[in-house]
Structure 1
Amino acid sequence: MSLKVMYIAGWGRSGTTIVDNILNSYDGVFSTGELFYLWSRGLIENRKCGCGQLFTRCELWITILDVAFGADRPCPEHISQLQREAIRVRHTPGLTGAATSPEAEEYRQVTNRLYHAIAEVTGARLIVDSSKVPSAAALLPGMAGIEPYLLHMIRDPRAVTHSWMRAAPPADRRSAMTNQEAPAASTMHWLVRNALAERLAGAYEGRYRLLRYEDFVAAPRDIIEGLLDFTGADAGGGPFTGDTTVTLEANHTIAGNPGRFRTGQVELRADDRWRDEQTAGPRLTATALALPLLHRYGYRTRTSRPNRPARHSRSFL
């Protein structure tokens, strides 16, 4: 039986962390967080695991790495180099076919071994990887023994821009302040990441779904249960205590924003601070640059008007 892996793609600050953490709280589901950064932020920088331990002291990940590689564990610096040279975002279109470079194939094999070791150690029937990097998502359909799913998460680019302009406190002393990005840079990343994520839909052969953050927070329980049904996972015994409240369990996520450390009861509601706090300059910049995809995803030019449905037949709306 193939192992089911749901890869979350898109651009940061789009609600991926909370969706990731909720899915992790279901029986039979294990969230890796941003597995792409295991080598750099986990093994090289030794940042904290979602459980609160320094990554190299987390017994679960030590066991996973031992099961995956034994004494022949890959050099973290070498894998990070492969990522920089062969798995860059701009390489995404060329990584969707069966024929890839030797470097990309080496990285695919290493990641495949990790996924299977995670399932063996945790007993998970569904693994959620919220790395968001489209080039890594392009390799997933070609992995042996993997049944791949792609969840493409998006959010209004004005909201994303506002979030990237704020610096969050570091999750631990080894981390810098959460990166800030100027409106133009953030929006260009939003455009490129979302265009590439949608382009991958064909490679996933009917296992692609588009999810807007705004639709998720409007009906979180229905959306999450719909995602589990989409993968064939059991939605019973989940963390929801109401339609918009969840009790989050501790996790073992790699990298991501500080929200991944949050546990206990959480009330889910839209973060719309940007509507009142964002000044005209960043809003106009984000609107103008995002215009090629703005209406495709149902976001209006005038933010005072409600969103339209996204123009995509495979969306959770």
Structure 2
Amino acid sequence: MSLKVLYIAGWGRSGTTIVDNILNSYDGVFSTGELFYLWSRGLLEGRKCGCGSVLTRCALWASILDTAFGADRPCPERISRLQRESIRVRHTRSLTGPVPSAGAQEYRAVTNRLYHAIAEVTGARLIVDSSKVPSAAALLPGMSGIEPYLLHMIRDPRAVTHSWMRATAKADRVQERPAAGTMHWLVRNALAERLAGAYGGRYRLLRYEDFVAAPRATIDGLLAFAGVAAGAGPFTGDSTVRLDVNHTIAGNPGRFRTGEVALRVDDRWRAEQTAGPRLTATAVAFPLLHRYGYRTRTSRPNRPATTRG
């Protein structure tokens, strides 16, 4: 039986972390967080696992790496170099072809071994990888023994811009200027949508705004989409959830939250965002703004998205 892997693609600050953490709290589901950054942020920089331990001291990840590679563990510097040279975002379209580069094939093989080791160690029936990098998502359909699913998460670019601009001392968050951040939003989302065909119908678009309007129903729908029985789950109400400790790699500092969490829309940007960043984000995102149901005038309600999925 193939291992189910749900890859979350898109751009940061789009609600991927909370969706990731909720899914992780279901029996039979294990979230890796941003697995793409295991080698750089986890093993080289020594950042924290979601459990709170430095990742290099996390017993679970040590077991996964031993199961995947034994004494022949790949050099983190080499895998990071492969990512920089062969798995760049700009390579996304070419990586969906039948014969990717030797570097891409090597990286695909390493990641495939990791996915299977994660399933063996954790007993998960569904692995959730919220790396968001579209070039890495392009390699998933070609992995042996993997049944791939693609969740494309998106959020109003004005909200995303505001979130990236907020100052923070957390290591996993950096500030992005409005034009640069929105250009990333535009490129990442366009590439994520282009991958739909490679996933053979296992593609779904989810807007952050739709998720927070009906969290429980949305998560139930995602599990059904991936063919996994929801069971009792972590929800204590339609919009409240009890989060378990996780072992996620990198990402939004919200991944460290556990216990009871009330899910509410974060729309502080509407009151706090100044005209300059809002106009910049609107202008840069305009080619895809209406496609995803976001209006130019933010005072008007969103429309349904017009993408497939």
TM above 0.5, yes or no, is yes
- Is 1:240 aligned to 2:235, yes or no? yes
* Structure 1 residues without counterparts, runs of 5 or longer: none
Question: What CA distance in whole angstroms lies between the structure 2 residues aligned with 1:11 and 1:207?
Answer: 20
Match 1:213 to one of 203, 208, 211: 208
**What amino acid maps onto 2:58 in structure 1?**
C
Q: Secondary structure at the match of 1:241?
A: strand
Match 2:261 to one of 237, 261, 266: 266
Match 2:182 to one of 187, 190, 195: 187
- Is 1:294 aligned to 2:289, yes or no? yes
Match 1:197 to one of 189, 192, 212: 192
Residue 168 of structure 2 is matched in structure 1 by 168
Question: What CA distance in whole angstroms lies between the structure 1 residues aligned with 2:21 and 2:209?
Answer: 17
Residue 12 of structure 2 is matched in structure 1 by 12
Residue 253 of structure 1 is matched in structure 2 by 248
Structure 1 residue 241: Cα displacement: 0.3
Residue 152 of structure 2 is matched in structure 1 by 152
Structure 1 residue 178: Cα displacement: 1.8
Normalising by the residue count of structure 1, what TM-score does the alignment of the two structures yield?
Answer: 0.97
Normalising by the residue count of structure 2, what TM-score does the alignment of the two structures yield?
Answer: 0.99
Structure 1 residue 98: Cα displacement: 2.0
Moved over 4 A (4+): none
Residue 142 of structure 2 is matched in structure 1 by 142
Give CA deviations for 1:71-111 in whole Å, capped at 9, x if unaligned.
00000000000000000000000000220100000000000
Residue 119 of structure 1 is matched in structure 2 by 119
Once superposed, what is the RMSD of the aligned Cα atoms?
Answer: 0.7
Give CA deviations for 1:27-77 in whole Å, capped at 9, x if unaligned.
000000000000000100011000000101100000000000000000000
Question: What CA distance in whole angstroms lies between the structure 1 residues aligned with 2:240 and 2:98?
Answer: 43
**What amino acid maps onto 2:137 in structure 1?**
A
Structure 1 residue 313: Cα displacement: 3.6
**What amino acid maps onto 1:163 in structure 2?**
S
Q: Within 5 Å, which residues of 2 pair with 1:27-176?
A: 27-170=27-170, 175=171
Q: Calculate percent identity across the aligned residue pairs.
A: 82
Give CA deviations for 1:269-297 in whole Å, capped at 9, x if unaligned.
00000000000000000001100000000
Question: What CA distance in whole angstroms lies between the structure 2 residues aligned with 1:186 and 1:74?
Answer: 33
Alignment length, in residue pairs?
309
Residue 26 of structure 1 is matched in structure 2 by 26
